[in-house]
Amino acid sequence: MAIVEKVIDAPPQQVFDVLADGWTYSDWVVGTAHVRDVDDTWPRVGSRLHHRAGPWPLSLQDTSTVLACEPPRKLVIKAGLWPAGEATVVFTLDPVGDDATRVRIGEDFAAGPLRWVRNRLNDLVLHLRNKETLNRLSDIATRQKADR
Residue pair 101/10 in contact (Cβ under 8 Å)? The answer is yes
Cis peptide before 71 (omega within 30 of 0): no
pLDDT of residue 142 exceeding 70: yes
The whole-chain average pLDDT of the chain stands at 86
State residue 119's pLDDT score: 53
Q: Map out the domains of the chain with their CATH numbers.
A: 2-9+30-147 (3.30.530.20)
Residue pair 135/127 in contact (Cβ under 8 Å)? The answer is no
Q: Contacts for 27-30 with beta carbons within 8 Å, 24 or more apart? A: 27/136, 27/140, 28/133, 28/136, 28/137, 28/139, 28/140, 29/133, 29/136, 30/129, 30/130, 30/132, 30/133, 30/136
Share of the chain above pLDDT 70, in %: 82
Q: Rounded to a whole number, what is the distance in angstroms from the first to the last CA of the chain?
A: 36
Cis peptide before 55 (omega within 30 of 0): no
**Residue, of 27 and 55, whose pLDDT is higher:** 27
pLDDT, average across residues 62-91: 89
The string of pLDDT tens digits covering residues 35-55 is 999 999 999 999 999 988 777
The string of pLDDT tens digits covering residues 88-132 is 999 999 999 989 999 999 988 766 556 556 555 466 667 888 999
State residue 2's pLDDT score: 73
Q: Using CA atoms, how far apart are residues 120 and 76, in angstroms rounded to an integer?
A: 24
